[in-house]
Structure 1
């Protein structure tokens, strides 16, 4: 909330989708990309490295790395956010479509 200027409700929605995103990354056959809003939650969770590592181990048996691509012209090789949101839904998580409509930011699980 404080770092990105989001209200409590929005911050909770972002974190919910970030957790679902990490779970999807653990189960996806190829890299996935978050939307800009979901990426904020992922970045925040990454700062709590012990908790993040424990979560990754529990849901996927491995650490889910963040591999940003700072060159906007380079192909990321990750599924676009819309495909990522669809994967999250197929895994049984609720998808907050409003948070996935935002454009993606560089960075994907690899």
Structure 2
């Protein structure tokens, strides 16, 4: 959950970047989304906007290089001074966690 919150802060700080969570971090994001009022309040506080969870499930929206998207996200988090737990972003058993295609969609700002 901590990594999901850090990811959302990175999204807030980089509204035009299509940052993408890992599979494990996305689980935390989904859990937070279930608490809609708290999620909305968090978004208003850290981003001054609602951070939409926008699954990428159409060919034109597909992330062309999921591993690069994770790298960009991790770089954005580190640049913001946010903690990164590498094993939650790229587990050794998988090369990319973005096959589920979730991203913060800046088009919905």
Q: In which range does the TM-score fall when normalised by the shorter chain?
A: 0.7 to 0.9
Are the equivalent residues in 2 in contact too, given 1:72–1:106 (CA < 8 A)? no
Unaligned runs of 5+ in 2: 92-96
Match of 1:41 in 2: 28
Rounded to whole Å, the distance in 2 between the matches of 1:72 and 1:44 is 27
2:72 maps to 1:86: no
2:95 maps to 1:106: no
Moved over 6 A (4+): none
Aligned equivalent of 1:60, options 33, 43, 47: 47
Superposed CA RMSD: 2.1
Structure with more of its chain in strand, by fraction: 2
1:87 is displaced (CA, Å) by: 0.6
Unaligned runs of 5+ in 1: 1-14
Rounded to whole Å, the distance in 2 between the matches of 1:94 and 1:72 is 32
Rounded to whole Å, the distance in 2 between the matches of 1:18 and 1:41 is 5
2:86 maps to 1:97: yes
Rounded to whole Å, the distance in 2 between the matches of 1:35 and 1:24 is 14
Rounded to whole Å, the distance in 2 between the matches of 1:85 and 1:72 is 25
Relative to the length of structure 2, the TM-score reads 0.79
Residue range with higher mean Cα deviation, 79-88 or 30-39: 79-88
